[in-house]
Structure 1
Amino acid sequence: MVIIKNSQQIEYMRQAGKVVGETLLKLEEVIKPGITTAEIDRIAEEFITKQGAKPSFKGYGGFPASICASVNEEVVHGIPGNRVLNEGDIISVDCGAVLNGYQGDAARTIPVGKVSEEAMKLIEVTKESFFKGVEKAIVGNKLTDISHAVQQYAESAGFSIVRDYVGHGIGRDMHEDPEVPNFGRPGRGPKLVSGMVLAIEPMINIGDFKVVTKPDGWTVVTVDGSLSAHYENTVAILTDGPEILTLIK
């Protein structure tokens, strides 16, 4: 069941989203060659709690950290640890926070120092595919209008869309109905109405779209070892157009 939010609930989500967006901006500043993924996680948790919020991911389904830190061929759900980031790596940071009982969820893929042109193109196309999807997140459209726009843009750039993991509704719970695929034919799924809030999150690979979960039970990697990028925001669908709740301008 899709849970429609009223204006007060969206305001709570706006506040949670602001914490997430500001956390990711802070992490973009500190991510440099030589830092460990555990240190990035520590900085994120400290910042989130200082804002009076709680990290959504810590303990979620048993996940041990406050952020997901996925490096290079890791797509999503990477566990922070003693891995040191090197010049030329890319890291996808997924972050969630809960405030006043409501969630915010967003992700960014960040270059570590100077990266290859191909890696930078992947990051930029993944980000832009999100915005192509958001253009379709308007009242009266169908859910897969978003999906189709994401897929069309990413594939036209020569990249592939991860199919095993999708976006989702969000509110009091991190994952609510509906699922939001990043691929598919337009004109399908529920009609978009004011008060829907969606986490739209393209996951895009340089190589094949196939992925597999590592033995840790969490970290998802590309089967062919190719680089992957992730870009996500929490988006409220409103009568006057979509509002991106986790993007700090």
Structure 2
Amino acid sequence: MIELKTPAEIEKMAVTGRFVASVLREMTERAEPGVNLLDLEQRARDMVAERGAQSCYWDYAPSFGEGPFRNVICLSVNDAVLHGKPFDYTLADGDVLTCDFAVLIDGWAADAAVTVQVGDQTPDVTALIDSTRRALAAAIAQAKPGNRLGDVSAAIGAVARQDGYPVNTDFGGHGIGREMHGDPHIPNRGRPGKGLPLRAGLTLAIEPWWGMGTDRLVTDPDGWTLRLADGKPGAHSEHTVAITDDGPRILTVED
């Protein structure tokens, strides 16, 4: 069911979103060569506890995962692009790290993701990450009353197509509010002018992701981590966005 939020409820989601943004900022600032993923996860866990937030990931057991998930953040390295389960791994120079994080505060969720390269930067990875960020910005610009969901998806797909990256439509964005995942599903490719009419009060987690080569995914033995089948790096950018009468409002940003 799709629930339209009141302006007051969107303000509550923005409180959660600011916290999500602060955790992701700290994760990316700490992500340096020699840092272990489990140390990053522990810091995220500590921040959740200190804030009195509720992790959307802990004990999460959807059909696509081998649950329950027993971490508070997804940390995906290199060819792992989605649902990365933190493990005993020390980041190396040049690694590509995606941090995906969602919590509830006072009953309202926010969800965001960011990809960074650790240490030395390489042009092909920089271009890949930038592509997902530009796709996210293009999609957000379409998230306004009077448009349709297909306009959001088409904006993402257009950037990927222009940049030469294939798009997987099995996993994409989603509705969000009182729970992390809800209707509607937002594929990263679509047709302009088609799909659900966008109305003020709709809140969406928009998340373009892709890799340098294939769009085919394989699952790690942990039952969660999704890797690109060709072993090439992937990138993932995500914001929680509210559609308002004044246009799109990004909720997962710090003041």
TM-score, normalized by the shorter chain, greater than 0.5: yes
Deviations 1:179-220 (A, max 9, x none): 011102111111000000000000111101111222221011
Aligned residue number for residue 157 of structure 1? 163
Matching residue of 2:20: 20
1:44 corresponds to which residue? Answer: 44
**1:236 match:** 242
CA deviations 1:136-167 (Å, max 9, x no partner) are 11101000101001110122112122222011
Aligned equivalents of 1:18, 1:36: Cα separation in 2: 25
TM-score w.r.t. length of structure 1: 0.97
**1:145 corresponds to 2:151:** yes
Partner amino acid, structure 2, of 1:160: P
Opposite residue 234 of structure 1, the aligned amino acid is T
The answer on whether the counterparts of 2:19 and 2:254 sit within 8 Å (CA) in structure 1 is no
Quote the RMSD (CA, aligned, Å): 1.0
Matched, 1:33 2:33: yes
| 1:190 match | 196
Contact 2:170 2:187 in 1 (8 A): no
Give the distance between the partners of 1:225 and 1:155, measured in 2 at CA.
21
Residue of structure 2 equivalent to 1:82: 88
Decide which of 95, 101, 106 is 2:107's aligned counterpart: 101
Contact 2:75/2:83 (<8 A) preserved? yes
> Is contact 1:89–1:115 with CA below 8 Å preserved after alignment?
no
CA distance in structure 1 between the partners assigned to 2:56 and 2:160 by the alignment:
29
Instruction: Give the corresponding residue for 2:64.
Output: none
| Amino acid aligned to 1:217 | G
Cα deviation, residue 58, structure 1: 1.4
In the TM superposition, structure 1's runs of 4+ consecutive aligned residues that sit over 2 Å from their partners are: none
Answer whether contact 1:160 1:207 (CA < 8 A) is retained.
Answer: yes
- Matched position secondary structure for 1:60: coil
Q: Name the SS for the 1:171 alignment partner.
A: coil
The count of aligned residue pairs is 249
Q: Give CA-to-partner distance per residue, 1:39-68, whole Å, 9 cap, x none.
A: 111111111222221222111111110100
Q: Is the 8 A contact 1:35 1:85 kept in 2?
A: yes
**Aligned position for 1:170:** 176
Distance 2:229 2:160 in 1: 19
Partner AA of 1:114 in structure 2: D
TM-score, with structure 2 as normaliser: 0.95
User: Do the aligned residues in 1 keep the contact of 2:93 with 2:120 (CA within 8 Å)?
Assistant: yes
Q: Distance in 2 between matches of 1:116 and 1:201?
A: 23
- Alignment match, 2:117: 111
Are the equivalent residues in 2 in contact too, given 1:164–1:211 (CA < 8 A)?
no
Deviations 1:80-123 (A, max 9, x none): 11111100001110001110101010000011011321011111
Letter in 1 for 2:192: P
Residue pair 1:20, 1:48 contacting (<8 A) in 2 also: no
Distance (Å, rounded) in 1 between the aligned partners of 2:94 and 2:121: 4
| Aligned-partner Cα distance in 1 for 2:90–2:17 | 29
**Contact between 1:49 and 1:55, CA under 8 Å: does it hold in 2?**
no
Answer yes or no: is the 8 Å Cα contact 2:98–2:236 preserved in 1.
yes
Identity %: 39
